[in-house]
Structure 1
Amino acid sequence: MDINRRTVIRSATGAAALAAFGVAEGSAGSAAFAGTSSSSSSSSTSSAYSLEFDSTAWSYDSTNDVYYQIGKMYVANPAATDYENLSIYVPGAYLKATANSDGTTYTATVDRKGTVGDYSARTAPIVIPVSTPGYAAQKPATSYSYSSVSQYLKAGLIYVWPGLRGRDSSTSTRSDAAPWGVTDLKAAVRFLRYNRSVLPGSTDDVVLFGMSGGGAQDTVAGASGDSPLFYPYLRSIGAAMEDAKGRPLSDAVAGVMAWCPITSLHEANLSYEWNMGQFASTGTRASGTWTSGYSTDLAKAWPKYLNRLGLRDEKGRHLKLTESSSGVYLAGTYYDYLIEVITTSLNHFLADTTFPYTVTTQGGPPGSGSTGSSTTYKTVADYIAHLNTDSTWVTYDSTANTAKVSGLEGFVKSQKTASKPVGAFDGYSRGQTENNVLGMGLNDPSHFAPLTRNVIKANQTKYATYSDWDTAYNSSAYDSDFARKDSVGKDMAWRLDAYNPLYFLSPAFAGYRRSQVAPHWRIRTGIMQGDTASTTEINVLLALQNYGIRNVDFATVWAQGHTQAERTGDSTTNFISWVKSVTKS
């Protein structure tokens, strides 16, 4: 069954089936793919900027042998010139250059014989950072700094840093936010391919890397290569849709490195409450509040969504949730799989860690005077006893140095407590960060999640009996937001699909196999983070594997939170090593 598209209306159960999964009739539907062509040019008949790369404008760092350019516009008709430009940093061995008469710039051509390590000027991978926490904007470079790119260049990589619009960027013409961040990222990739004949590096080996909202946006970009959902947005800014000979250009990428990707926003309210919220009883989950009931209702709705995805593990086992004697759907093959992931994470930690082991807790906010505290565990047994302080949820085999996690509740209460209020992503008062990500403008947040709207609609009469309920939270607020059109005439359903990686990876959605999915993925997350459910990155992993992507390097890292989590070593070195392992030399 197609969870989010108009085809559900055409099924035997009609509009009732659609309502069950949170979609209003009139969403983008399969019409999203009608009348689109990858060879279509920008709809604009005039261009403010040339898409041609200027090979006479290179600057040179002679100390470190680096050629670079800063501030090159990568679209012909930018909506925000202060964001839609990029910088490129190239090892000196990849170019042949002569000084210009101005004494400061160089004219350069590709040196086909130039090499750095295992790479040549034609085979060097191109890495692109996506540093957009909370889906914020990524500011482009305005000056040169070797230290920020040195590790990549020394490894023979080419580093491209594009500015990207986000939820906190504004322009004189802005009337919406997403999907502009990923649109700009795709436009930058297309610019590189448009100019591939004059630039060093392999545009077949473009690899994205980012964390949190950046990990989310590079995940979306990696799953949605050449998706027609983005064409209207790309055309509106004059992105390179064809090369100089009229051949279609691609925005698909070779690889994605995602740390803690905060993604799959369409269902994130539900999974958060199922994974963590159902085990909390304070704040918005305290007894006597309408949001305590809302939390339970969201948690109950998530298994229905999850079971329709049809996910399977590496052995082909169908993963689903079933009702349990206690808690909300804490049984079934999907539940067992989640416990296996948690157990594996803990055992990796035990294998990687030398005891005594010291845990340092984070202090309070700046100015609070709190500096945190440290606790040292002399042995593994001491640490396991610490984990079991409130309940016994871990058993330990000292002979094999392995542990077994018995259930989700003990793990969550000990290691992964809810840090966000109920309605963690699409807030009932539009107060969450993501309400601005899918807002219609700066300081104009919007509801965006039909699955959340359906929970509200089904239960708002019950919620109204609580003293803290406000009629402004009614489902009608969601309906009005969903109906609004953005600056290219698309509604919320279209925009939400564009920012949902599962839309492109899962057969439950109409975008399945209508994009070019990156063949190489590396996903890392800190298992302790309260920023999103563990199911978020697990479902991306499973969807990629079910899609047929063979190269997915996944780990959720014990004792780490919302950070560039790594089992061992540092994130930059590990990322570069991974790029070298999956790209051609």
Structure 2
Amino acid sequence: MYKKFISGIMLASFIAGSTFTSCSKKSEPLPKKTYSDSISMNNWKYNEKDDVYYQTGIIYVSKPEDLTYHTLGIFIPGKYVEGTKNSDGTYAIKAIQKDAPYVMPIETPGYAALPAPEDYVDAVKDYTDAGLIFLYSGARGKTHGAPLGVTDFKAAIRYIRHNSEILPGNTDLVFTFGMSGGGAQSAILGASGDSELYEPYLQEIGAVMTESDAVTGSMDWCPITNLNVANEAYEWEMGRTRTDLSEFEQYLSEELALAFGSYIDSLNLKDENGNKLTLVNYTDYLTKTIEDSLNTFLSTTAFPYNPQKTQNNMHLKMLTAGMGQMGQGMNNMQPPSDKPDENKDNNRMPPPPDNKDGKKPENRPEPPEGQPNGHQPSFEEMDGIQRNKNNSTGLNLNRTFNSPEEYIAALNEKTTWVIYDKSTNTAKITSIKDFYKYMKPATKNIGAFDDLNAAQGENLLFGYGDGKGAHFDKYMTALLKDTIYYASFAEDLNKKDSAGNTVDYRMNAYNPMYYLSSYYDGYKSSTPAKFWRIRSGICQGDTAISTELMLKLALQNYGNEITDVDFATVWGLPHVEAETTGSPTQNFIAWVKECVEQL
């Protein structure tokens, strides 16, 4: 019954790093408007060239904080309505199609705020040509504090559903999509449908409280999620690529990794064959995931191959990050390695006392706001997340490779860790340690998400709207008890926001795993999306592979409420809208159509 919307051929791709806002044609400032619980059907504009009816400046909450964010735009294929031109040049429209799905961009890299559109947005044409209705909502960002960004998107979804009788298409069918912090918030929307945790925040802004905010599908590129253990996962996977650490830094990295090992054992996740994953076999599962990514790359890549010319000219930056010796002193809850070290020292160094070696990391430069000469900024340049850029493995992967053998030889330039079988065009990874050393090193300081100085983007996300970052990692707080950092960590964990909630409450609201895993109290307390598509660049230094891998596993383990989980981590790609083949936009549109056909 939902197949009527499928028409046309999907066209150009959405280039990574370019926002929908940048495509928006500037107009005069919006006139002062008042909230109405009903969308006017007599005040639409029409883009004749693209055959799209649209309306912007629609206030979607009765107590808006800022109309920059608390308005939305709707862009409708012309064939879905009957339009009558008014004397002032606007149009009155009447819906004649009630099946088409809505797609909603969560264009918030680094959890940034998303200004609402003020006029027509050229980029919507790819979606409306494919028969999709484009719902473009503004939303507050990290400077306002979590969970306000996702709260706003939920409020917008509730508002259009409140107007379902007059709008074309099927407002029950909403698919979100986003990259990085936007991928994270798309995943949160997918996992937290109708969660009670959001009710006080929705009430604060006067959202419609009688409608559902659950979405049908969630498309997530490089989602930075599971922030309650993100520091720990980062050190478990990439911490042992760090060099020149002080005793304090070494201790902190190792202890964070150990905490993640305990977390793995507690999740009760199962693989595709129903086997329970524990620390004993999870490293093997992770290794196979990495190996599968490489073999997919080999089977889908045409040689000669040049990393810089892949993915439709997206601004790919192959990692050439450098590492040295691995961290020492892990016990049997160790980060991934090829074999347990039976001779390692299990006596770990205690944290330093105040004012000794608990030194603060060096200040790191802010990412550039823009580049000259028409440079298209990458997500890494736009998202306000701090990264170290001075590492180099010495591998020369930024060149053209004429054959798979030549590419594998480049991977093995320093040491052999990949074995290639030409007869089957497949590879086997013999050292997961070397994979991290050469392909996925740490690019963030210890406390990758909860920075010791509260200077990371996620610190701002869990701040309190005053422009200052706040700490949120309770595991890290415990480790810092006898250091100069402890007081600020402990203070932040006890603060309350405007709704009277501590960071634990807010973290749960912003953690997809809270709703999807039986480890958490919020398990099955929401209405999750039926369809999921998750893609990441396997070489990104922004987060651990386990971040998206555990999200995938939790979704697969959840039950019949979730229809399909389409997951891939793409070999050779960093923090981008990673796709094995094709463009992100085309692949997303095709996926939405496939999902709707299954309903």
Q: Could you state the TM-score of these two structures normalised by the residue count of structure 2?
A: 0.79
What is the CA distance between 1:294 and its match in structure 2? 1.1
- Give 1:488's match in structure 2, choosing from 493, 496, 499: 499
Matches within 5 A, 1:250-265: 250-265=212-227
Task: Report the 3-state secondary structure (helix = DSSP H, G, I; strand = E; otherwise coil) of the residue aligned with 2:258.
Answer: helix
Aligned partner of 1:531 in structure 2 is: 542
Aligned partner of 2:82 in structure 1 is: 96
Aligned partner of 2:132 in structure 1 is: 157
Aligned partner of 2:365 in structure 1 is: none
- Give 1:546's match in structure 2, choosing from 546, 557, 560: 557
Structure 2 distance, partners of 1:108, 1:408, is 59
What is the CA distance between 1:380 and its match in structure 2? 1.1
Matches within 5 A, 1:134-173: 134-145=110-121, 147-168=122-143
- Give 2:251's match in structure 1, choosing from 282, 287, 293: 293
CA pair 289-367 structure 1, distance change in 2 beyond 3 A = farther
- Is 1:339 the counterpart of 2:307? The answer is no
Contact 1:301 1:455 in 2 (8 A): no
- Aligned-partner residue type, residue 518 of structure 1: A
Q: Deviations over 1:291-331 (max 9, x none)?
A: 2221111112110112111111011111111xxxxxxxxxx
Task: Report the 3-state secondary structure (helix = DSSP H, G, I; strand = E; otherwise coil) of the residue aligned with 1:161.
Answer: strand
Contact 1:309 1:508 in 2 (8 A): yes
- Give 1:352's match in structure 2, choosing from 281, 300, 310: 300
Aligned partner of 2:162 in structure 1 is: 194
Matches within 5 A, 1:325-336: 332-336=280-284
Contact 2:317 2:574 in 1 (8 A): no
What is the CA distance between 1:280 and its match in structure 2? 1.8
Structure 1 distance, partners of 2:218, 2:521, is 23
Contact 1:69 1:88 in 2 (8 A): yes
Structure 2 distance, partners of 1:181, 1:362, is 29
Aligned partner of 1:455 in structure 2 is: 479
- Is 1:308 the counterpart of 2:308? The answer is no
Matches within 5 A, 1:428-467: 428-457=452-481, 460=482
Structure 2 distance, partners of 1:208, 1:63, is 26
- Is 1:107 the counterpart of 2:92? The answer is yes
Contact 1:557 1:567 in 2 (8 A): yes
What is the CA distance between 1:414 and its match in structure 2? 1.1
Structure 2 distance, partners of 1:151, 1:570, is 12
What is the CA distance between 1:48 and its match in structure 2? 5.8
Structure 2 distance, partners of 1:236, 1:287, is 46
Q: Deviations over 1:47-86 (max 9, x none)?
A: 9622211111111112222100011011111112211110
Q: Deviations over 1:146-179 (max 9, x none)?
A: x3111100110000100010014xxxxxxx5100
Structure 2 distance, partners of 1:109, 1:420, is 52
- Is 1:273 the counterpart of 2:297? The answer is no
Structure 1 distance, partners of 2:449, 2:492, is 15
- Aligned-partner residue type, residue 74 of structure 2: I
Aligned partner of 1:517 in structure 2 is: 528
- Give 1:412's match in structure 2, choosing from 432, 436, 455: 436
Matches within 5 A, 1:75-90: 75-90=61-76
> How many aligned positions are there?
487
Aligned partner of 1:224 in structure 2 is: 192
Moved more, 511-520 or 402-411: 402-411
Structure 1 distance, partners of 2:141, 2:465, is 10
- Is 1:380 the counterpart of 2:404? The answer is yes
- Aligned-partner residue type, residue 538 of structure 1: L
What is the CA distance between 1:96 and its match in structure 2? 1.1
Structure 2 residues not aligned, in runs of 5+ = 1-32, 309-315, 321-367, 376-388, 390-395
- Is 1:185 the counterpart of 2:160? The answer is no
Contact 1:167 1:442 in 2 (8 A): no
Aligned partner of 1:10 in structure 2 is: none
Contact 2:34 2:59 in 1 (8 A): no
Structure 2 distance, partners of 1:577, 1:381, is 33
Aligned partner of 1:559 in structure 2 is: 572
What is the CA distance between 1:445 and its match in structure 2? 1.1
- Is 1:421 the counterpart of 2:448? The answer is no
Contact 1:359 1:374 in 2 (8 A): yes
Q: Deviations over 1:511-552 (max 9, x none)?
A: 101100000000000001000000000000000001022400
Task: Report the 3-state secondary structure (helix = DSSP H, G, I; strand = E; otherwise coil) of the residue aligned with 2:42.
Answer: coil
What is the CA distance between 1:123 and its match in structure 2? 1.0
What is the CA distance between 1:101 and its match in structure 2? 2.4
- Aligned-partner residue type, residue 268 of structure 2: G
Contact 1:280 1:418 in 2 (8 A): yes
Task: Report the 3-state secondary structure (helix = DSSP H, G, I; strand = E; otherwise coil) of the residue aligned with 2:84.
Answer: strand
Structure 1 distance, partners of 2:106, 2:191, is 15
Aligned partner of 2:364 in structure 1 is: none
Aligned partner of 1:63 in structure 2 is: 49
Contact 1:177 1:441 in 2 (8 A): yes
What is the CA distance between 1:455 and its match in structure 2? 2.6
Q: Deviations over 1:112-153 (max 9, x none)?
A: xxxxxxxxx2111100000101111011111213x3111100
Structure 2 distance, partners of 1:359, 1:576, is 25
Structure 1 distance, partners of 2:453, 2:240, is 21
Q: Deviations over 1:169-210 (max 9, x none)?
A: xxxxxxx51000000010010001100001011122100000
Contact 2:128 2:134 in 1 (8 A): yes
CA pair 563-362 structure 1, distance change in 2 beyond 3 A = closer
Q: Could you state the TM-score of these two structures normalised by the residue count of structure 1?
A: 0.80
- Aligned-partner residue type, residue 559 of structure 1: G
What is the CA distance between 1:288 and its match in structure 2? 2.6
- RMSD in angstroms over aligned alpha carbons? 2.1
Structure 1 residues not aligned, in runs of 5+ = 1-46, 112-120, 169-175, 243-248, 322-331, 465-470
Contact 1:278 1:299 in 2 (8 A): no
Structure 2 distance, partners of 1:307, 1:65, is 54
